[in-house]
Amino acid sequence: MSSPVESRQAKMIDELRVFIKKVMSDPTIAVKSMEIARKYRGQSDADEAMAREISANTTIRIPEAWSEADKMFLEILHEVLDDEEALY
């Protein structure tokens, strides 16, 4: 029997697998997501705005109640923007 932590990790892995498959099948998702992230960078409600617009403009659906995988995706967007900014 799996522990709650193992169950949560398994769910997150499943969500990330679905996400990766979507990105691989539609390469515009990454480009659109980054454009949206840049648009809201630095705003106080950036994550909420990014989640809404990404959900509205791509096949990625980020519900109002974020899963661990949703949070990770938004964190990664911020990290990529930070890396991008460091290059300049």
pTM (2 decimals)?
0.83
Average pLDDT over residues 23-44: 94
Q: What is the pLDDT of residues 1-16, one digit of tens each?
A: 578 889 988 988 998 8
Structural domain boundaries in the chain: 4-87
Name the more confident of 27 and 77: 77
Helix ranges, 26-67 (H):
28-40, 46-57
Q: Report the chain's mean pLDDT, rounded to a whole number.
A: 91
Which of these, 67, 81, 73, 71, lies nearest to 37 by C-alpha position?
81
